[in-house]
Structure 1
């Protein structure tokens, strides 16, 4: 997957996850992209550990895995922020 595809998937996944976790007001476009890309790595790692398929390219499955990883990342960040 090319860098442009990572940025697009990252932006979409970060934005969807921030809407789901209600952090959209405090995040900008760059933060959504970073959260989405790091979330894709987390989601891919978790899916591989469970025996599934992680990020496979520019498709709906990769977006879903990225959103799951992004939600997990935002949840972890929220836990540290509340301390």
Structure 2
């Protein structure tokens, strides 16, 4: 996959993760994009580790796997970045 595909997949995965897990995690579109791209890598790694597949191109399975990884990254980010 090319860098453009990773960016598009990251934007989709990050936006989907923010939609599923709303809240005040901070950051704007850039943070969402970065978390989504990191989440795509995490989702691909975890998917390959447990045997359900990895991120392969821009399709529904890859978006689902990347969004699941982005949810994990977003959850960890929200726990680290608490403003209390």
Q: Which runs of structure 2 are paired with 1:4-83 in the superposition (5 Å)? A: 4-23=4-23, 26-82=26-82
* Distance change >3 Å, CA 48–CA 25, structure 1 → 2: closer
**C-alpha separation between the residues in 2 aligned to 1:28 and 1:45?**
26
Deviation at 1:81, TM superposition (A): 2.9
More helix by share: 1
The question of whether the paired residues in 1 share the 8 Å contact of 2:25 and 2:78 is answered with no
Deviation at 1:41, TM superposition (A): 0.7
Q: How many residues align?
A: 83
Unaligned runs of 5+ residues in structure 2 are: none
Unaligned runs of 5+ residues in structure 1 are: none
- TM-score by structure 1 length? 0.87
